[in-house]
Structures are given as C-alpha cells and as structure tokens.
Structure 1
Amino acid sequence: MGSKLINKLLLIAGFASLAHAAFSAAHHRTYLRLTEQEWTTLPLDIILQTVISLVIVIYNIIEVVGNFKEIRATVDMQQKTWDTLGNCPSFYSFNHRGRALNPGYAPQD
C-alpha cells in the first residue's frame, strides 16, 4: 500500500516536472524573440529535465496501473472444433459464373 502511494506521488511530480519543462521551453523561446537572437536548440537543463521527467512518468504509470494481462491469440481458437475452424460464412458465394459456364445451364427469365 505504501509503495503505491509513493508511485502515485512520483507520478504527479513527474507530470508537474514535465509541465515545468514545457513552460521553461516556451519562456526560453519568448526570451530569444525579445532579445532578437536566433533559436537553435533548447538549453541542456531543459532537455535533461524533460527526459528525466518522462522516464519517471513512464515508470510510475507502469507501477501504478498494476499487472498486465497476457494477450493470447489462441484463446478464441481453443474453444472451436476442427469442423468449425475452416468455416467462413463471409466467403460463401451462391451467385457465381460457374452456372453460366455449365453447358446445361438455362437462365431463368
């Protein structure tokens, strides 16, 4: 119970840190416009804060969410029999040209 609370608090702190990094980046861009300097890249501290915050958020989201369930494609196939496995009603075609190619076929008018 205690570790879940710590993970939730770290998750909130990670999101707050990401928001702060976004605000800092916008503020830096505004500063460059006001001083008429050319924008090349963000300062290293903003980039590091963004990357570290993102890692913290990703890790704590995984910890807070809990255990993942395994996705198995064979779950639906285990309940089917061999007789119904090849049954694909969407591929049934009753009106095809095979009747027209039959020499004894007489179309109904």
Structure 2
Amino acid sequence: MASIFHKFLLVTGLLSLFHAAYSAAQHRSYLRITEQKFVSLPVDILVQGIVSLFVAMYGIMYIAGEFKEIRATVDLENKSWETAKNIPSFYIFNHRGKALSPNYIPPAQKSSLEEIQS
C-alpha cells in the first residue's frame, strides 16, 4: 500500500515538472521578445526538469506496487494445459461438424414458393 510520503513525492515531482516546462516556455517567449537567438535552456531549468522527473518516477514506482515478471512462463507454470487453452470466447457450438454425426437430422428445406410468401 502506498504511503502518504510516496504520494506526496509524486505530486511534488509532477508539479515541479510542470513548473520546469512553464519556465522553459517563458524563457523562449522572453528570447523572442528580446529578439535573441535560442542556444539552450538555462541550467537551473534543465536541472529542475531532470530532478523532478526522477522524483516523480520514484513516487510512481512505490505507488504502483510489486512488478510482475515479464516472462509469461512464470504465470503459466501453475496452470495445467487444459486451463491454459480454455478460452470461452472461442467456443463455437453451431458449426458444420454436427452434419458428420450419425444422429444428425437436417432441417426441412423450404420451397422457393414458401420463401416468397413468408
């Protein structure tokens, strides 16, 4: 369970990251108004952006909880082959295979005259 400290870190990191982005936009506007050439962002904005990004990532990692294994075999080791292949969305009960059954009785076909009348 995420502690209040980690949530506070996440919010602080995100707010600081938005502030760094706003400061960068303000710096670009200032350069346009004063007709100066853009070379790079000031060091304080770069440092604030990078540090706030890492603080936000640290907060997110502790709020998200335990990571799952990337390999699918770890999750599938405890399942049998029958349950792993059991996908109900692929069940099809009305197919042509029933016509191969010796007990299959085909439905009565309508004549073309009966189809027109109905």
TM-score range, shorter chain: 0.5 to 0.7
Residue type of the alignment partner of 2:21: A
Residue type of the alignment partner of 1:39: F
User: Deviations for 1:53-76, whole angstroms, at most 9, x for unmatched residues?
Assistant: 000011110011111122432217
1:25 aligns with 2:24: yes
Q: SS of the counterpart of 1:42?
A: coil
Which consecutive residues of structure 1, in runs of 5 or more, have no partner in the other structure?
85-109
Which consecutive residues of structure 2, in runs of 5 or more, have no partner in the other structure?
86-118
| TM-score (normalised: structure 1) | 0.66
* Larger deviation, residues 70-79 vs 26-35: 70-79
Alignment of 1:67-82 (within 5 A): 67-74=66-73, 75=76, 79-80=80-81
Q: Please provide the CA RMSD for this pair.
A: 2.4
Q: SS of the counterpart of 1:63?
A: helix
1:4 aligns with 2:3: yes
Q: What corresponds to 1:59 in structure 2?
A: 58
| TM-score (normalised: structure 2) | 0.61
- Give the Å deviation of 1:7: 0.6
- Give the Å deviation of 1:49: 0.2
Aligned equivalents of 2:71 and 2:36: distance in 1?
A: 55
Aligned equivalents of 2:71 and 2:79: distance in 1?
A: 11
Q: Name the count of aligned residue pairs.
A: 81
